[in-house]
Amino acid sequence: MDGITQLIAGFSSALTLSKLGYCFFGVMMGMLMGVLPGIGAMATIAMLLPVTFYVPPDAGLIMLAGIYYGAQYGGSVASILLNLPGTPSSAIICLDGYPMKRQGRAGPAIFLTTIASFIGSFIAIALLVGAAPAVARLALKFGAADYFSLMIVGLVAAASLTRFGIARGLAMSTLGLALGLIGTDVATGTYRYTFDNMQLADGLSVVAMAMGLFGVAEIIHMVGSRGARHGTVAKVSLRDLVPTKADLKQTPAPIIRGGLLGAVVGALPGTGASIGAFMAYGLEKRISSVPKKFGTGHVPGIVAPEAANNSAAQASFIPTLTLGVPGDPVLALMMTALIIHGIQPGPTMIAEHPEIYWGLVASFVIGNVLLLILNLPLIGIWVRLLQVSYRLLFPVVITLICIGVFAVGNSPFQVLQVVVFGIVGYAMRLARLEPAPVLLGFVLGPMVEENFRRALQLSRGDLMVFLERPASCAMLVFAISIVLFSLWTGHKNAPQKELSA
Amino acid sequence: MSNLPERRFLHHRHERFWVALILFAFGVFVAWHATSYELGSLRRMGPGYFPLILGLAQCLFAIMIFVSPQPPSDFDASEIPDGDLAAEKGNFQTKLRAFGFILGAMIIFAAMIRPTGFVPATAVATFVAGLAEPDNSIWDLVLLSLGITVFASLVFVVGLGVPVPLVAF
C-alpha cells in the first residue's frame, strides 16, 4: 500500500506542466524514432542526452525514459508495414505482422500491437510500484561480494542471450570490461592503458561507444541496402484499424502472458526488451494449439512479443534504479545520464530521491496514456513518416550524433572515438559478435573491479567470501548454471545450425 | 544473403578461427600490459591485478569460441524472406563509399568544430555524410545541410547553450 501512496505523490510531481511537456516530448521523439527504421532508442537518447544537462534530473530522466518506451510502440509500425524493424526489440513482430499487412490487415495489426504495448506497460508499472522498493530494501543488505556476484550474473545473462552463442557473448562482456579499464584507476590513481594520452585519463566516453557500436555501425549497414530504398507504404486510416471479433478473442491471454514474461525478463539485470520479445514469441508458439499458424499473420504472434517488449523496457528500470545494474545498453546509457547529474542509482536511490523514482513511475502511466492517444488517431501521420527517405535521414542522424557526443563531453576527441567504435561495431557485425554485452561490460567494469577489490580486502584475500555469503553464492551458482545451460543447448543444436549457416 | 560480399566473409569457414585469434591476441595484450602495473596481492590488489585477470579471461573465452560450434546465421530483418533480396544486393563499392563518407563526415566535424565553430562544422558534416548515398543529388544535400544547420544551431547553441561559438574565425 505504501507504494500506492508514494505513486500518488509521484503523480503530483509528474503532473506539473513542465514535466508533462518533457514526457510528451520524450514519447513523441521515441515514437518518431521508433517508427523510422535504423534509428533506435539508443541513437535518439544519445542525441538528446545533451538536452538533459540543461533540465532538472527528474525531468531529463522522464524524457529519456519516454524515448525508450515510446520507441517500443513505434518500432512495431515499421515491422508491420515494411518488414523492417524500427527497433531491435520489434524485429520479431515482422514474423507475423508483415504477413498480416500482406493480407490487407495492417490496420488491425497496428491497433492490436498498440493495445498490447499499453497493457504490457501497465504490468511492468505494477511491478515497479509493488516490487521495486522491496528489491531496494533487500539490496541494502548487499555487501561488496554480493554486488560483485550480481554484476557477474548480469554480464553472464547478457552474454548468454546473444544470438551467436555464449562463448562469443562472454568474450564481448570481457572486452567491455577491459575497455572500462582505460583511464584512471579509482583506488590508486594510476593511469591504466592510456598510453600517455591525457585525453584518455577520464576513460572512454560511454556515449561515443554506444553511438559507434550501435548507431554508426547500423547506418553503415543500412546505407545502400533495402532499408534505404523502400518504396511507398500503404495508407492506413483510423477506420482501417478496427479488428475483427476473432482477433479480439485471441488477444487477451497472449498479452497477459507476454506482459508477465517481459516484466520478469526485464527485471533481471542484463536482459532487456529484445530478449523479452523473443522469449514471448517462443512461449506463445510452444503452448499454442495451432503452432503452424505462427509466421502466417497469427495475432498472438504479434501481441505477445509486443506486450513483452514494452513491459520489459519498463521493468528494466528496476535493476537499473534499485541495484545500479543496468538491464540493457539503453539503460546503461540512461544510468550514465543520472550519474552525470550526481544521482547514483542503487538501493538508496528510492529512499534518497523518492520524487525522482516515483515521478518516473507516474510518468510511465502518463506517457503510456499519451502514446495510446497519439498512436491510434494519428496513425496516418506515422505511416506517412515511413516514406521519409532514409537517404536524407541518415546524414541528419550522423550530424546529430556528432553534435550530441560533442556536447556531452565538450570534446572533439570523443567524436573521433565514435568513428573508431563505428569501425569496430561494423567489423563486429560481420564477425557475428554482439555489441550489447560490450557496452554493458564497459559500464559495469569499474563497479565490478571496485566490489571485487573491496570484497577481498574485507575477507583478507580469502576467495571463499564469494561462496560464504548466501546471496553471492546463490547468484554465482545461477550464473554458472546459465553458462552450462547455454553450452548444453548450443551443443545440442549445433549440427542443425551448422547446416543452415 | 550468403551471396553478399560482406556475408561471404561472414560465412567463411575460417571465420571462427580469425575471431578467436584476434580476441586471443587482445587478451594477451591486456594481460601483458597489466604486468607493467603493480600487481599487489588478492588481499591488497594493485592496479594491475584485475586487468591481468580480465586479459586471461579474454584468452580463455577466445579459446572457447574456437572450440565451440559455428553460431547460427545472423537473424535480422533482411533475412526474413521477402522475395526481393536479389534487388537489394549491396556491393563492396557501396559499402566502401558508405564507410568513407560517413566516417569522413564525423572526422571532419571533429576537426572543424573548434577552429571554425558550429555552423560550418555542422553544414559540412551533413553534406559529406549525405554523399555516402549515390542517389543523393548535390542540391538535395545543400538544402538538407542548410536546414539542419539552422535547426541545430537554434536548438543546441541558441536554445541549450552548448558552449561553442556559431562561427569562429
Does B82 contact chain A (CB < 8 Å)?
yes
Q: Do A187 and B68 touch (CB under 8 A)?
A: no
Query: Is it the case that residue A403 has pLDDT exceeding 50?
Result: yes
- Judging contacts by C-beta atoms under 8 Å, the chain B residues touching residue A185 are 47
- Model-level pTM? 0.84
A-B contacts at Cβ under 8 angstroms: 256
Query: Is it the case that residue A342 has pLDDT exceeding 50?
Result: yes
The reported pLDDT for the residue numbered B104 is 96
Q: Do B68 and A487 touch (CB under 8 A)?
A: yes
User: CA–CA separation, A19 vs A51, rounded Å?
Assistant: 14
The closest alpha carbon to A210, from A446, A448, A440, A445, belongs to A440
Candidates B46, B121, B160; nearest CB to A50: B160
Q: Do A407 and B80 touch (CB under 8 A)?
A: no
Q: How many CB atoms lie within 10 A of CB B167?
A: 11
User: How many Å lie between the alpha carbon of B59 and the closest alpha carbon of chain A?
Assistant: 9
The closest alpha carbon to A368, from A38, A112, A30, belongs to A30
Least CA distance to A95: which residue of chain B?
B80
- Judging contacts by C-beta atoms under 8 Å, the chain A residues touching residue B81 are none
Q: Do B50 and A79 touch (CB under 8 A)?
A: no
The reported pLDDT for the residue numbered A449 is 92
User: How many Å lie between the alpha carbon of A327 and the closest alpha carbon of chain B?
Assistant: 22
Least CA distance to A175: which residue of chain B?
B58
Candidates B95, B105, B107; nearest CB to A416: B107
Query: Is it the case that residue A164 has pLDDT exceeding 90?
Result: no
Candidates B73, B90, B121; nearest CB to A501: B73
Query: Is it the case that residue B9 has pLDDT exceeding 50?
Result: no
> CA dihedral defined by B79, B85, B88, B93, rounded to 10 degrees?
80
pLDDT digits (tens, 9 = 90+) for A23-47: 999 898 888 888 877 677 777 887 7
Candidates A84, A223, A395; nearest CB to B144: A395
Average pLDDT (B124-128) is 95
- Judging contacts by C-beta atoms under 8 Å, the chain A residues touching residue B127 are 395
pLDDT digits (tens, 9 = 90+) for A256-290: 999 999 888 888 877 777 778 888 888 888 888 88
Q: Do B71 and A224 touch (CB under 8 A)?
A: no
Distant-in-sequence, close-in-space partners of B36: CB < 8 Å, separation ≥ 6: B48
Query: Is it the case that residue A442 has pLDDT exceeding 60?
Result: yes
ipTM over 0.90: no
Average pLDDT (B35-64) is 92
Picking from B37, B58, B79, B103 by the largest number of A CB atoms within 10 A of its own CB, the best residue to mutate is B103
Picking from B54, B89, B150 by the largest number of A CB atoms within 10 A of its own CB, the best residue to mutate is B54
User: How many Å lie between the alpha carbon of B124 and the closest alpha carbon of chain A?
Assistant: 9
The reported pLDDT for the residue numbered A43 is 78
Does B125 contact chain A (CB < 8 Å)?
yes
pLDDT digits (tens, 9 = 90+) for A117-157: 999 999 999 988 888 888 888 888 888 999 899 889 888 88
Q: Do B105 and A500 touch (CB under 8 A)?
A: no
DSSP string, A158-195: HHHTSTT-HHHHHHHHHHHHHHTTSEE-TTT--EES-T
**Which grid cell is A289?**
494449439
- Judging contacts by C-beta atoms under 8 Å, the chain B residues touching residue A91 are 75-77
Within a 13 Å sphere around the CA of B62, how many CA atoms are in the beta-carbon half?
19
Candidates A229, A403, A487; nearest CB to B122: A403
- Judging contacts by C-beta atoms under 8 Å, the chain B residues touching residue A190 are 37-38, 47
Candidates A174, A402, A500; nearest CB to B58: A174
CA angle at A32 for the pair A385 and B88, rounded to the nearest 5°: 55
Query: Is it the case that residue B4 has pLDDT exceeding 70?
Result: no
The reported pLDDT for the residue numbered B87 is 39
- Of all helices (H) and strands (E), which one includes residue A43? helix A41-52
> Residue written as cell 526485464?
A266
Looking at chain B from residue 85 to 104, which residues have their Cβ under 8 Å from any Cβ of chain A? 87-88, 90, 94-95, 97-99, 102-103
Q: Do B102 and A181 touch (CB under 8 A)?
A: no
Least CA distance to A400: which residue of chain B?
B152
Q: Do B23 and A490 touch (CB under 8 A)?
A: no
- The 10 Å CB-count burial string (b at 16+, else e) for A210-240 is bbbbbbbbbbbbbbbbbbbebeebeebeeeb
Query: Is it the case that residue A114 has pLDDT exceeding 70?
Result: yes
Within a 13 Å sphere around the CA of A9, how many CA atoms are in the beta-carbon half?
13
Mean residue pLDDT across chain A: 84
User: CA–CA separation, A3 vs B11, rounded Å?
Assistant: 52
Distances (CA, A) of B162 to A16, A346, A405, A431, B114: 26, 30, 11, 38, 13
Picking from B50, B58, B79 by the largest number of A CB atoms within 10 A of its own CB, the best residue to mutate is B50
The reported pLDDT for the residue numbered A494 is 52
Query: Is it the case that residue A304 has pLDDT exceeding 80?
Result: yes
Average pLDDT (B60-81) is 67
The closest alpha carbon to A282, from A297, A300, A270, A267, belongs to A300
Q: Per mean pLDDT, which range of A35-39, A182-186, B82-86 is the poorest? A: B82-86
Amino acid identity at B137: S
The reported pLDDT for the residue numbered B102 is 94
